[in-house]
A = this chain, B = another copy of it.
Amino acid sequence: MAEKQKKRTEIAELGEFGLIDKLTAFAKPSRKTTLCGVGDDAAVIEASRDTAIVVSTDSMLEGVDFDLTYFPPKHLGYKAVTKGISDIVAMNATPEQVTLALGISSKLSVEFLTDFYAGVEFACREANIDLVGGDTSASLTGFIINITAVGRAKRRNVVYRSGAKPNDLICITGNLGAAYMGLQLLERERYVLSDVKHQQPKFEGYEYLLERYLKPRARYDIIESLAEEKVVPTSMIDITDGLASDVLQICKSSKCGARIYLDRMPFAKQTSELAEEMNTDPVVAALNGGEDYELLFTLPLEARDKIAALGCIDVIGHITAESAGAVLVTPDGSEIALRAQGFR
C-alpha cells in the first residue's frame, strides 16, 4: 500500500487542554434538552421544567492514575466512586446513580475484583447512591476503570464554573495537598522496599495522608450544608488538578481574575510535617498536587457570616477583574502568577 508520507503532529505539541478545546469545538449543543455541554465538571440535561440531571464521566488507568503495587483494590473501588460523584457535587447537585465500565486484564483475580466491588459498594452505601449499570471488557494491558455519575438538582440551583464576579469570596473546604503528600509517601516506601527485602514501610504518623490519597471522600456533606443555609455559590469546581489549575479554570470560565492569599491556605498538620521531612513545601503540594476532592467555590461578600457559621470552610481570597490576572499573594505582599500544572 504505497502511500504518501502523512503529516504527524505530536499530541505534546498542543497539550491536553489545547487539544481537547480544538477537537470538541464542534460540540455546540443543538438539542434544547442540553442545558450545558462540554466545559464544566458535568453536563447538565433538562429533566423537567424545574429539575436538571447532571452527568459526568471519568477514567482511571492503571500505571497512570494508580499503581496496584500499593493501591488496595477495595480503596480503589471506593476512590472510583468518589471521583465520579465529586464532579456531580461540584455542580451543586445530589449524586444519585453511577455506572462502571471496567477493562479487566487476566492478571487480575476474582478475589481482586470482589475486593474492588466491595469498595464500590461501601462508597455507594455511604453516599446513598445506586450502581445502575456497567460493562466489562477483557483488557490486554492494565486495569481500566471508567465511572459515569448521574445527579439531580433544581435547575436554578445548578452552579457552573462561569458565574464568579469581582469581589466574590473564594472559599475552600477541608485542607489542601494531603493526597499529594500521601502519594509521595507511598512512592518513597515503594522505592525503599524495592531495594531491601522484608522491610516494613514507614507510614506511622502519616495515616491521614494515606487515607486522603487512597480513600478520599466527595464533599456531598458541604452541598447539603450550603442548601440548609440557603447559600448558592456563584461558581464551583472540585479540586482535582491542584488549586492553581482549578482556580484558573474558574477564572477562564468566569472571565475574571483571582487573588489567593498564601497564609490563608489550609494545611493538615501531617501535610506540613511530611513536607518538612521530605524537604518540600506544602504550598507546592496544594497548588500543583491535586486529587484533594475538596470544593473550591465563590460567594458574594454578604454570605461571609453564613460561611463562618458552617465552620469547615476557609476564605482564601477573592475574585478580581480579568485584567488583574490570577495571582498568589505571599505574606510579604508580593504576587506570583498562578500557573496550571497537571497531577504528576
Residues on A close to B: CB < 8 A? Answer: 1-2, 6-14, 16, 19-20, 22-24, 26-27, 29-31, 33-34, 36-38, 40, 42-43, 45, 47-48, 51, 53, 55-61, 63-65, 96-97, 99-104, 106, 108-111, 113-114, 117, 121, 124, 128-142, 144, 146, 148, 150, 152, 193, 198, 200-201
Contact = CB atoms under 8 A, between A and B. Distances in A.
24 contacts: A8-B109, A9-B110, A11-B104, A11-B108, A11-B113, A16-B136, A27-B121, A27-B131, A29-B130, A29-B132, A31-B129, A34-B132, A37-B132, A38-B133, A38-B134, A40-B133, A55-B55, A55-B97, A57-B100, A59-B102, A61-B140, A63-B141, A99-B148, A146-B146
Contacts of A19: 110, 113, 136
How many protomers of this protein does the assembly include?
2
A131 B59 contact: no
A132 B59 contact: no
Contacts of A142: 140-141
| Interface SS majority for chain A | mixed
Nearest to A113: B23
Nearest to A132: B43
Given A43-B99, A198-B1, A59 B109 contact: no
Given A1-B200, A29-B130, A140-B61, A148 B55 contact: yes
Contact of A96 (B34, B63, B104): B34
B103 A59 contact: yes
Given A23-B117, A57-B133, 8 more contacts: A19-B136, A23-B114, A26-B131, A30-B130, A33-B96, A34-B97, A36-B132, A43-B132
A122 to B, nearest CB: 10
Contacts of A132: 27, 29, 34, 36-38, 43, 45, 55
